[in-house]
């Protein structure tokens, strides 16, 4: 079996060397053409890092700039990882197969920001390696963050086409670990926030929406009514998640958290955003089905035998 894989790889290496280098740059698709979609994804992936760097140079990151950048990179890692998950439902719901071109870019961006998050943590602790290693595998919230990072690094290292060919079916099993890795990253982020978990509630609610969407029967995943119901369920689940967190962490009554959902003093709560995003997806699918031109088939013409 190993020999057969080696033969396949050696044959493809020749083709790979013959392929122009310009076709393998990240902003081109497999045919070698420049992909505007990939350019947008690459630019969007780099933009937060440039924004953080500019803020750091301008002294706009507060009294502890490294710590502020540490928190920001962790949040951006979660955001890009969620976006990489969203590619699959977006591709299926909107019949947009070309979206798969950016899934790897978004996933690698999430892993890169997670690694930057670790590097900033090391810098924030003044390179005290013994203390850092003890902490990474000590306190629970750092332990689950470390486990998430290890998985993300493994996924990033095996994200190439060559790794997919070498690993075969094992590759898919490994990359399904992205779901528990993102769950652990969200949990780590919530524990790190301690009392104010507002920033993590929205991505956690969207993660709930995605996992619930995956559990739907395939025939229901593109139905606007089902997607609208899923939006409502995800919004209420987000409220429940937030209420449970505050009850366990601070003892705040769940009823008080529920009342806070209808206060607009601090803007829309995360549960509202989860519901609105879900309803927006359902509405987009409905409008697409209404305005999509029906596929017409040419009438069959009987053969006259000539």
CB proximity list for 263: less than 8 A, separation 6 or greater: 269
Evaluate whether residue 298 is within a structural domain: no
* Domain end among 167, 193, 219: 193
Same domain, 187 and 42: yes
CB proximity list for 17: less than 8 A, separation 6 or greater: none
CB proximity list for 18: less than 8 A, separation 6 or greater: none
pLDDT of 53-81, one tens digit each? 888 888 888 888 888 899 889 889 999 99
* Domain end among 193, 222, 248: 193
Higher pLDDT, 304 or 112: 112
Evaluate whether residue 78 is within a structural domain: yes
Residue 273 and residue 219 in contact, taking contact as beta carbons nearer than 8 Å: no
Same domain, 188 and 47: yes
Same domain, 53 and 105: yes
- CA angle 167/169/171 to nearest 5° reads 50
Same domain, 114 and 81: yes
| Confidence band, pLDDT 50/70/90 cuts, at residue 299 | very low
Evaluate whether residue 77 is within a structural domain: yes
Q: Which of 9-23, 57-71, 109-123, 234-248 has the lowest mean pLDDT?
A: 9-23
Same domain, 174 and 215: no
pLDDT of 39-51, one tens digit each? 888 999 999 999 9
Cross-strand partners of 34 = 28
Same domain, 178 and 43: yes
Evaluate whether residue 198 is within a structural domain: yes
Evaluate whether residue 301 is within a structural domain: no
For residue 297, pLDDT beyond 50: no
Same domain, 41 and 149: yes
Number of domains into which the chain is organized: 2
* Domain end among 193, 222, 253: 193
| Domain enclosing residue 80, as ranges | 27-193
Same domain, 139 and 274: no
Same domain, 159 and 227: no
Evaluate whether residue 9 is within a structural domain: no
pLDDT of 230-269, one tens digit each? 999 999 998 888 887 777 766 666 666 676 677 666 677 8
Residue 62 and residue 72 in contact, taking contact as beta carbons nearer than 8 Å: no
For the residues of 71-102, what is the DSSP string, one character each?
HHHHHHHHHHHHHHHHHHHHHHHTT-GGGGGG
What is the predicted pLDDT for the residue at 27? 66
- Percent of the chain scored above 90 by pLDDT? 21
Same domain, 104 and 219: no
Per-chain mean pLDDT for the chain: 80
CB proximity list for 5: less than 8 A, separation 6 or greater: 165, 166, 168
């Amino acid at each position: 079996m190993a020999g057969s894989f080696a033969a396949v790889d050696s044959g493809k290496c020749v083709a790979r060397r013959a392929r122009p280098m310009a076709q393998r740059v990240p902003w081109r698709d497999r045919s070698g053409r420049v992909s505007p979609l990939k350019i947008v994804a690459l630019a969007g992936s780099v933009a937060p890092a440039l924004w953080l760097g500019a803020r750091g140079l301008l002294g706009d990151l507060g009294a502890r700039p490294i710590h502020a950048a540490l928190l920001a990179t962790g949040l951006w890692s979660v955001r890009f990882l969620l976006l990489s998950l969203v590619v699959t439902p977006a591709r299926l719901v909107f019949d947009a197969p070309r979206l798969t071109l950016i899934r790897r870019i978004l996933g690698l961006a999430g892993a890169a920001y997670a690694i930057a998050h670790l590097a900033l943590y090391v810098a924030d602790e003044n390179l005290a390696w013994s203390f850092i290693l003890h902490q990474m595998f000590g306190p629970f919230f750092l332990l689950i963050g470390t486990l998430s990072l290890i998985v993300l690094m493994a996924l990033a290292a095996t994200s190439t086409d060559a790794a997919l060919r070498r690993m075969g079916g094992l590759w898919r099993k490994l990359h399904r670990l992205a779901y528990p890795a993102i769950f652990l990253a969200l949990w780590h982020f919530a524990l790190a926030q301690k009392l104010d978990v507002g920033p993590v509630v929205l991505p956690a609610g969207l993660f709930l929406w995605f996992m619930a969407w995956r559990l739907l029967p395939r025939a229901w995943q593109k139905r606007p009514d089902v997607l609208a119901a899923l939006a409502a369920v995800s919004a209420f689940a987000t409220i429940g998640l937030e209420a449970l967190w505050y009850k366990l962490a601070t003892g705040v009554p769940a009823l008080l958290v529920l009342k806070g959902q209808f206060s607009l003093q601090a803007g829309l709560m995360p549960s509202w955003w989860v519901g609105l995003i879900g309803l927006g997806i359902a509405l987009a699918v409905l409008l697409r089905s209404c305005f999509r031109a029906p596929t017409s088939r040419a009438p069959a013409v009987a053969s006259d035998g000539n």
